[in-house]
Amino acid sequence: MKVGALTVHMGQDEIRPFDGDLTYLGKIMAALPIDIELSRLIALGHAFGLVYETVIIAACLSTKSIFKIYYKDRLAAYK
């Protein structure tokens, strides 16, 4: 998934998409101890002045759904 964290280096006749340096956004995303997609959401929320809202959305997206009951969890609770 492209999230804009790496620069793309081009060789003589090839493009090497996995060999690159961290961009400024990539350094910010690496510093946050959460998933890459959620860290990008928060970084872009900061750029648009919506940090509070994006942190709330990221917190909601990082948890399990309260409406799903997983069989393994139910079995572990029964044991």
The one-letter code for the residue type at 65 is: S
Predicted pLDDT of residue 64: 78
Q: What confidence category does residue 1 fall into, taking pLDDT thresholds of 50, 70 and 90?
A: very low
Predicted pLDDT of residue 41: 92
Q: Using one digit for the tens of pLDDT, what is the confidence trace for 21-73?
A: 788 888 888 888 988 889 999 999 999 999 999 999 999 998 877 777 777 77
Ramachandran angles phi, psi of 49, nearest 5°: 75, 30
Predicted pLDDT of residue 25: 84
Dihedral class, residue 4 (left if φ above 0, else alpha if ψ from -120 to 50, else beta) = left
Q: What confidence category does residue 18 fall into, taking pLDDT thresholds of 50, 70 and 90?
A: low
